[in-house]
C-alpha cells in the first residue's frame, strides 16, 4: 500500500519526537542542576535558555519528552490490553461472562480520571510515574472495550468463525488466528488514541500539581513554568517548547489515526486528497462528455 501524505507527515512528526525523547537525554546535561544564571533567553551555551533557577530548558525538554512518551506508550498498551481482554473475550464467550464484563466496563466508563487521581494523591505521598500511568490506564480502557465488544459480536456471527468451529478449531485459536487479525486496524487506532489521551491526561494532572513527583514530563515542565511565573516574566522559551511538543505530537498521532481509519473504512479513503486529485482530472472529462452528449 502506498504511503498517504497524511500518514507520512504523521509518522515523521511522531518519529522525530520519539527519537528526540529516546536519544536526547544521552547528550544533554543534568536537568536538575541549579545555576545562578536564572531566566536566560536562548543562546550562550543554553540552547533553549534557562529556568528561573538556572536549569537548562533543553535538557529538561529531552527528559520530559522521554517521560511523557513512556507514560503514553505504557498507558496505551495497558488500555488496549484491558479493552481487548474485556471487550473481545466477553463478547466471544457470551452469556454471563459477557454480562459481567460489560457491566464492569460500564462502571469503569463512568469513573472519572481526574477526581480519582485527586483522591489517590491525597492518600499517596510519593506518586511514581507508574502509579500515574496505572490510574490513567484504568480510567481510559472502558470506551474501547465497548467498541471492541460491538465489533466482536458482529464478527462472531460471521460464517467464517462458525466454519472454523465446524472444522474443529479450539476457541483460543479462533480468537487469536481467525478473529484478532481482523481487529488489528481497530486495535492500532485505539492504541494511538489512548496514547494521545494519556499524554494529554498526564499533562493535565501534572499541570495542576498532581503529577508524578520527581520525574520529568511535558506536564511537570509546564507546572514549574507556571509556578515560576514564566508567562508574566515573558519567558517564552520556558513554557513554549513543552506546549509545542504536546501539540505537534498530538497532531502527528491524530494524522496516523486518520490514516488507520481510512485503511479500516475504504469509504473514507475515497475522500482523501489523493482520490480527489485523481478526480479533478476526470471531472474535466465528465464535463466534456456531458457537453458532447447534449
Distance in Å, CB of 294 to another protein, minimum: 7
CA 111 – CA 105 distance, rounded (Å)? 10
Instruction: Tell me how crowded residue 136 is: count the other CB atoms within 10 A of its CB.
Output: 28
Distance in Å, CB of 156 to another protein, minimum: 11
| b/e 57-89 (16+ beta carbons within 10 angstroms → b) | bbbbbbbbbbbbbbbbbbbbbbbbebbbebbbb
What does 93-128 look like in DSSP terms, one character per residue? H-HHHHHHHHHHHHHHHHS-HHHHHHHHHHH-SS--
Signed CA dihedral, 145, 151, 153, 159: sign only: negative
Angle between helices 218-227 and 57-84 (to 10 degrees): 130
Considering beta carbons, is residue 112 or 168 the nearer one to another protein?
A: 168
> Whose grid coordinates read 491524530?
254
95 binds another protein (CB under 8 A): no
Considering beta carbons, is residue 45 or 181 the nearer one to another protein?
A: 181
Distance in Å, CB of 51 to another protein, minimum: 52
291 binds another protein (CB under 8 A): no
Hey, which residues does 46 pair with through a beta bridge? Answer: 43
Distance in Å, CB of 181 to another protein, minimum: 4
Distance in Å, CB of 157 to another protein, minimum: 9
Q: In whole angstroms, how far apart are CA 281 and each of 211, 272, 275, 288, 293?
A: 53, 15, 10, 11, 19
Distance in Å, CB of 264 to another protein, minimum: 13
Q: What binding mask, one character per residue, do residues 235-274 give for another protein by CB under 8 A, x or -?
A: ----------------------------------------
Residues belonging to the chain:
294
CA 108 – CA 113 distance, rounded (Å)? 10
Q: Which of residues 130-189 bind another protein (CB under 8 A)?
A: 158-160, 162-169, 178, 181-182
Q: By CB under 8 A, which span of 25-33, 46-54, 102-110, 280-288 interacts with another protein?
A: 280-288
> Whose grid coordinates read 485459536?
173
Q: What binding mask, one character per residue, do residues 179-218 give for another protein by CB under 8 A, x or -?
A: --xx------------------------------------
Considering beta carbons, is residue 1 or 26 the nearer one to another protein?
A: 1
276 binds another protein (CB under 8 A): no
In the complex, the residues that contact another protein under the rule CB under 8 A are 158-160, 162-169, 178, 181-182, 278-279, 282-283, 285-286, 289-290, 292-294
Amino acid at each position: 500500500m502506498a504511503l498517504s501524505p497524511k500518514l507520512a507527515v504523521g509518522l515523521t512528526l511522531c518519529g522525530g519526537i520519539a527519537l528526540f525523547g529516546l536519544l536526547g537525554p544521552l547528550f544533554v546535561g543534568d536537568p536538575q542542576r541549579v545555576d545562578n544564571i536564572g531566566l536566560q533567553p536562548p543562546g550562550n551555551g543554553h540552547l533553549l535558555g534557562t529556568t528561573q533557577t538556572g536549569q537548562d530548558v533543553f535538557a529538561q525538554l529531552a527528559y520530559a519528552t522521554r517521560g511523557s512518551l513512556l507514560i503514553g506508550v505504557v498507558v496505551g498498551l495497558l488500555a488496549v490490553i484491558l479493552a481487548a481482554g474485556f471487550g473481545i473475550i466477553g463478547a466471544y464467550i457470551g452469556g454471563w461472562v459477557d454480562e459481567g464484563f460489560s457491566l464492569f466496563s460500564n462502571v469503569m466508563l463512568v469513573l472519572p480520571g481526574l477526581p480519582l487521581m485527586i483522591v489517590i494523591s491525597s492518600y499517596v505521598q510519593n506518586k511514581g510515574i507508574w502509579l500515574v500511568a496505572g490510574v490513567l490506564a484504568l480510567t481510559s480502557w472502558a470506551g474501547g472495550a465497548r467498541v471492541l465488544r460491538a465489533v466482536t459480536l458482529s464478527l462472531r456471527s460471521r460464517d467464517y468463525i462458525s466454519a472454523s468451529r465446524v472444522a474443529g478449531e479450539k476457541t483460543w485459536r479462533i480468537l487469536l488466528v481467525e478473529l484478532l487479525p481482523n481487529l488489528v486496524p481497530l486495535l492500532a487506532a485505539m492504541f494511538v488514541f489512548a496514547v494521545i489521551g494519556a499524554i494529554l491526561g498526564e499533562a493535565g494532572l501534572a499541570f495542576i500539581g498532581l503529577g508524578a513527583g520527581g520525574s520529568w514530563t511535558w506536564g511537570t515542565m509546564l507546572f514549574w513554568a507556571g509556578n515560576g511565573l514564566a508567562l508574566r516574566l515573558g519567558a517564552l522559551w520556558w513554557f513554549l517548547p513543552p506546549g509545542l511538543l504536546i501539540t505537534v505530537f498530538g497532531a502527528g498521532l491524530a494524522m496516523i489515526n486518520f490514516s488507520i481509519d481510512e485503511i479500516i473504512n475504504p469509504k473514507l479513503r475515497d475522500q482523501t486528497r489523493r482520490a480527489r486529485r485523481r478526480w479533478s482530472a476526470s471531472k474535466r472529462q465528465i464535463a466534456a462528455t456531458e457537453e458532447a452528449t447534449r
